[in-house]
Amino acid sequence: MENKAHNLLSKIATNDGHGENSPYFDGWKAYDANPFHLKHNPGGVIQMGLAENLLCFDLIQEWIEANPSASICTPQGAVDFKETAIFQDYHGLPEFRTAIANFMSRVRGNRVKFDPNRVVMSGGATGAHETVAFCLANPGEGFLVPTPYYPGFDRDLRWRTGVELLPVVCESSNNFKITEEALETAYEKAKLANIKVKGLLITNPSNPLGTFLDKETLKHLVSFVNDKNIHLVCDEIYAGTVTTGDQFVSIAEVLEEDPTCNRELVHIVYSLSKDMGFPGFRVGIVYSYNDNVVNIARKMSSFGLVSTQTQHMLASMLLDNKFVDHFISESRVRLAHRHEMFTRGLAQVGIGSLESNAGLFFWMDLRRFLKDPTFESEMTFWRIIVNEIKLNVSPGSSFHCSEPGWFRVCFANMDDETTMIALRRIKTYVLKNKMLEIKTKRQCWQNNLHLRLSSRRIDDILTPHRMSPHSPLASPLVRAQN
């Protein structure tokens, strides 16, 4: 029956390239079935699998209230209602593209300028990735992607385009660095499998690691794609979430410093979903240094335009430099504080994480909690986390991590109180387990001691050769008597 129904539909409609049958989405389902609420459901599952940035909405609200003309549904903005409602053009509002280019630049500390004419819109970074994949590769061709990587890529780049993703295996032994060796190995493997490599896709800062690439590595990646004559797609949607420590370096800065590299191979994917915290507005950007890609991506953007109402409002907001600068710096402070609060709390009970200072998450190391170092054990422990500890964190396997035991924890999609409850739940679990471990060890030790003593007694009786020379049974006198 099901097959019959399937025959009526396309291959894309009936395959599971949407990726929703993975633990990444199962965790969301567990949350949906029993969502935590401070008052109404305090025993529910806390959602820590969602990379959302909710920490600065008070600043946004203040701006909205202070700028009523930016919204066309207010008495002050209603004069623009008609023009906004009837505008439809895949180039987008010129002031919107200027505002986006301005914002991309400010987020990167004004160290690099972006050209509004290269800004192409799409439905979130999700749509931007698919557009780029459609522009650069044919079905069956592939992109190299360093692991661990954002699970949505399996859907966004592959599902409807038929493009393949080819993992570049990165490991914890060097903090998941992208090495030349790993790149070459993945490239050669693709060649052996007869898959034409069309590009390298990086996420910088990384989701799920929360780290970003240094300039040397970026330069190296640029020369790698130049040597192979393949594309470099840089997802920089977390560019504005870098908090403390070293400064984030955009691929745009590397290109500006290197006039010899072929810029036409480089494309940036951006979005306002993370840095501004607006995933609901579906503002995605393709920023390509290749004129042909800009041209064709713009035509393709007809399938995923940003509503003109949203463009209109964001144009005003993102051209307000004073607001933008304050927002970015305050957001960084709040993210850093939350990150510190969580990771320090976990460290108190001996849980470590990869050192990081970007993104809306960190990469938690639970390798020592696994029964054995396998992905089956990772899933077993993940089920304990979701069903017993009642936290939806995402297992490393869903990010194609090569080593079991890593979990991504999102920390910016909740308030302080919920954060404390989540932390308390983990601490309680660890301490309870420690007590149990100590009790079991003590019991084992006691049992062993008892066993050792009693077996010694039996041994003593049964094996005279092991007896003390002072034992009466061992004495030649007794033996003689026997």
Ligand X SMILES: Cc1ncc(COP(=O)(O)O)c(C=O)c1O
Backbone φ/ψ region at 121: left (φ over 0), alpha (ψ -120 to 50), beta: beta
* Integer Cα distance of 153 and 142 in angstroms: 12
Q: How far is the CB of 153 from ligand X (least distance, A)?
A: 7
> Are 66 and 72 in contact, with CB atoms under 8 Å apart?
no
Is 417 strand, coil or helix?
A: helix
Q: How far is the CB of 361 from ligand X (least distance, A)?
A: 9
Between 18 and 427, whose beta carbon lies closer to ligand X? 18
Tell me the backbone φ, ψ of residue 428, rounded to 5 degrees: -60, -45
Given 46, 149, 274, 320, the catalytic residue:
274
Between 274 and 332, whose beta carbon lies closer to ligand X? 274
> Are 285 and 128 in contact, with CB atoms under 8 Å apart?
yes
> Are 185 and 179 in contact, with CB atoms under 8 Å apart?
no
Tell me the backbone φ, ψ of residue 23, rounded to 5 degrees: -60, -25
List residues near ligand X by CB under 6 A: 51, 124-126, 150, 152, 203, 207, 235, 237, 271, 273, 279, 284
Q: How far is the CB of 269 from ligand X (least distance, A)?
A: 7
* Integer Cα distance of 76 and 145 in angstroms: 48
Is 157 strand, coil or helix?
A: coil
What pairs with residue 353 in β-bridges? 364
* Integer Cα distance of 478 and 466 in angstroms: 16
3-state SS of 296-361? HHHHHHHHHCCCHHHHHHHHHHHCCHHHHHHHHHHHHHHHHHHHHHHHHHHHHCCCEECCCCCCCE
**Which residue's beta carbon is nearest to the bound ligand X?**
124
* Integer Cα distance of 224 and 184 in angstroms: 9
Between 268 and 386, whose beta carbon lies closer to ligand X? 268
> Are 339 and 243 in contact, with CB atoms under 8 Å apart?
yes
Q: How far is the CB of 284 from ligand X (least distance, A)?
A: 5
Q: How far is the CB of 439 from ligand X (least distance, A)?
A: 42
What pairs with residue 53 in β-bridges? none
Q: How far is the CB of 150 from ligand X (least distance, A)?
A: 4
Residue 406 in tokens? 């890593």
Given 24, 31, 150, 287, the catalytic residue:
150
Catalytic, 274? Answer yes
Q: How many CB atoms lie within 10 A of CB 18?
A: 14
Q: How far is the CB of 433 from ligand X (least distance, A)?
A: 32
Between 205 and 405, whose beta carbon lies closer to ligand X? 205
Q: How far is the CB of 25 from ligand X (least distance, A)?
A: 13
Between 132 and 422, whose beta carbon lies closer to ligand X? 132
CA angle centred on 352, ends 346 and 355, rounded to 5°: 110
Burial 130-162 (b: 16+ CB within 10 A, else e): bbbbbbbbeeebbbbbbbbbbbbbbbbbbbebb
Given 26, 154, 156, 235, the catalytic residue:
235
Catalytic, 150? Answer yes
Given 46, 100, 202, 237, the catalytic residue:
237
Residue 145 in tokens? 């992607």
Between 203 and 301, whose beta carbon lies closer to ligand X? 203
Strands 46-47, 391-392: parallel, antiparallel or unpaired by DSSP? parallel
Which residues does the annotation mark as catalytic? 150, 235, 237, 274
